[in-house]
């Protein structure tokens, strides 16, 4: 009824009155449906307080932040913090962290991305469901362990000291993969491989779930068709399995690229030390060390913002390209 009265007056009333009507209508609707809006309230308030309010705090990236003056009270300095990052006293560390972020992500993508796909492919070949379920249960398990647990395990398994040496360190010495007595997590050149292997160990099984579901969703008729035309197993994979899981693959690639610059700081911080900063320090750990531990809040916020914005642009870019090329996209 109310909608009608608005549209009737549409031609003769100024737009302000129209918008007033709109607001009144909204209020009326909320009043009638108050239970619904009350249910929505906790989530909205939670996001405002803990997610969006800090975004306003990003302003300190453009300020000369003084803790006693607060975010709003500190003076504006424009892009000074960003300039300091790029060419100031921290610039060498900053660019090193930028490079490491990019390289660790890239290596992680190259070595880590295919493994869940291969796992899923192999899982789908296992005829015995019970055996497959057991194998899947085992491979998913590391995903549910905490970062502190897995890094604690890694550090101890790879440890070399006067009294105790971890079993994996021993194995690597005996296979002559690393020189006897190397302190693995104290040596910069071993950090990246160890970090990437830790990630592969923890997440590959779990990441295979999506691909496995995609493979399971492919119609068996298609496989029959390949069989009838005399194709072999590899041709089956090439012409049926891969096209069938392509949409999932593209989505996962987009997600991965979008997160290129957001390497989890937790694992880095738990694994690195002064001896490995050279290869281990990424943007997020740089933000943590300089901004939080070092107290250069504004500089840290600027570096964090730089990181987040490039990350955001990467997601958007990857999504755009994939929509152009394949009609598959996140939104």
Euclidean distance between CA atoms 40 and 37, whole angstroms:
5
Question: Can you tell me which of 148, 188, 246, 325 binds another protein, judged by CB under 8 A?
Answer: 148
Question: Can you tell me which of 5, 19, 20, 26 binds another protein, judged by CB under 8 A?
Answer: 26
58 near another protein, judged by CB under 8 A: yes
Stretch that binds another protein, among 10-18, 23-31, 76-84, 94-102 (CB under 8 A): 23-31
Min dist CB 15 to another protein, Å, is: 20
251 near another protein, judged by CB under 8 A: yes
44 near another protein, judged by CB under 8 A: yes
120 near another protein, judged by CB under 8 A: no
For another protein, the closer of residues 109 and 310 by Cβ is 310
Question: Can you tell me which of 263, 280, 304, 322 binds another protein, judged by CB under 8 A?
Answer: 304
Q: What letters, b where the CB count within 10 A reaches 16 and e where it falls short, cover 98-128?
A: bebbbebbeebbeebbebbbebbbebbeeee
Q: Which two tokens stand for residue 195?
A: 């970090």
- Total residue length of the chain: 331
Question: Can you tell me which of 17, 49, 69, 325 binds another protein, judged by CB under 8 A?
Answer: 49
170 near another protein, judged by CB under 8 A: yes
Min dist CB 172 to another protein, Å, is: 13
Stretch that binds another protein, among 9-17, 74-82, 88-96, 139-147 (CB under 8 A): 139-147
2 near another protein, judged by CB under 8 A: no
Q: Which of residues 214-243 bind another protein (CB under 8 A)?
A: 226-227, 230-234, 236
Min dist CB 76 to another protein, Å, is: 16
CB neighbours of 168 closer than 8 A, spacing ≥ 6?
A: 157, 158
């Amino acid at each position: 009824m109310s909608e009608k009265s608005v549209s009737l007056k549409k031609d003769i009333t100024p737009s302000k009155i129209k918008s007033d009507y709109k607001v009144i209508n909204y209020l009326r609707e909320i009043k009638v449906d108050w239970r619904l809006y009350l249910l929505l309230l906790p989530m909205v308030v939670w996001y405002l307080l803990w997610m969006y309010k800090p975004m306003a705090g990003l302003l300190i990236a453009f300020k000369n932040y003084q803790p006693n003056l607060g975010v709003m009270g500190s003076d504006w300095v424009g892009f000074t913090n960003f300039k300091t990052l790029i060419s100031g006293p921290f610039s060498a560390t900053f660019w090193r962290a930028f490079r490491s972020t990019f390289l660790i992500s890239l290596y992680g993508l190259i070595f880590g991305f295919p493994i869940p796909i291969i796992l899923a492919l192999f899982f789908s070949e296992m005829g015995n469901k019970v055996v497959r379920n057991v194998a899947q249960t085992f491979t998913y398990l590391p995903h549910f362990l905490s970062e502190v647990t897995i890094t604690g395990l890694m550090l101890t398994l790879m440890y070399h000291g006067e009294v105790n040496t971890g079993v994996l360190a021993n194995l690597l010495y005996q296979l002559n993969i690393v020189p006897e007595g190397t302190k693995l997590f104290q040596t910069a050149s071993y950090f990246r491989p160890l970090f990437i292997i830790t990630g592969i160990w923890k997440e590959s099984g779990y990441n295979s779930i999506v691909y496995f579901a995609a493979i399971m969703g492919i119609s068996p008729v298609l496989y029959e068709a390949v069989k009838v035309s005399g194709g072999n197993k590899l041709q089956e994979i090439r012409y049926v399995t891969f096209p069938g899981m392509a949409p999932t693959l593209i989505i996962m690639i987009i997600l991965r690229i979008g997160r290129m610059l957001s390497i989890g700081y937790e694992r880095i911080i738990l694994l690195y030390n002064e001896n490995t900063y050279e290869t281990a320090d990424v943007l997020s750990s740089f933000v943590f060390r300089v901004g939080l531990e070092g107290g250069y809040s504004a500089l840290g916020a600027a570096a964090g913002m730089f990181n987040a914005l490039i990350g955001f642009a990467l997601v958007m870019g990857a999504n755009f390209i994939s929509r152009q090329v394949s009609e598959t996209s996140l939104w």
